[in-house]
Amino acid sequence: MSANETTDWKPADWGEIFASHSPSWLAEHFRNYADTIESPIRLSVVVGCCPRWHVPGVMLLGDAAHPMSPVRAQGINVALRDAIVAANHLVPLLQTSAEHQEIDRALTQIQAEREPEIIRAQKLQLAEAAQGELLRKNSLLRSLLTKLPLLLRKQIQRSWLKRQYEMRQGITKVQLTV
């Protein structure tokens, strides 16, 4: 069920609603415990980027430093890429007797290295969300897209996949080197 199907979140038989969209083993669970199921809670999404991801001795990575949109579920991928870059910079320093100033400089370098990809990924997410919203609001456009000949649909699909490449593969090359 999409969030748009029931936007007012008024009282409903959520156990049955969830069950009707679930495999039989899970549907049975929802029906057996329907009286304990509360209505869904809609969470707001914050997309952004901290101006500074670190203070002496602490570094924020992933959603703590730059919360991502849920579009294409990139948060975990981006956080893992952050961790790889952080490891590449910090492991060599931590294996030696590096001074605090050297570590703090490395933290600044990590942010500088990661920030361009974060900004680009968030822009790609926003563009895709806008495209999805356009389709959601425009039934004529949705109808036209479903009626396109198969050849045109495949071209549109290829175009969409090409636009998604950066989000799927990452914008910058990230490789663990330590």
Position 177 scores a pLDDT of 96
Q: Is the full-model pTM beyond 0.75?
A: no
Position 169 scores a pLDDT of 83
Strands, DSSP E only, in the chain?
54-55, 58-59
Largest CA distance in the chain: 66
73 secondary structure, DSSP code: G
Position 6 scores a pLDDT of 46
User: Which residue from 76, 66, 54 is spatially nearest to 122, judged by alpha carbons?
Assistant: 66
Query: Is the CA virtual torsion 71, 77, 81, 86 positive or negative?
Result: positive
DSSP secondary structure, 119-132, as one string:
HHHHHHHHHHHHHH
Position 129 scores a pLDDT of 87
Average pLDDT for runs of 10 along the chain of length 178: 50 88 94 88 87 94 94 89 97 91 95 95 89 85 76 79 81 92
Which residues, including other chains, have CB under 8 Å from residue 12's CB and lie 6 or more apart? Answer: 6, 39
User: Which residue from 77, 70, 69, 65 is spatially nearest to 110, judged by alpha carbons?
Assistant: 65
Position 2 scores a pLDDT of 44
Give me the count of residues in the chain.
178
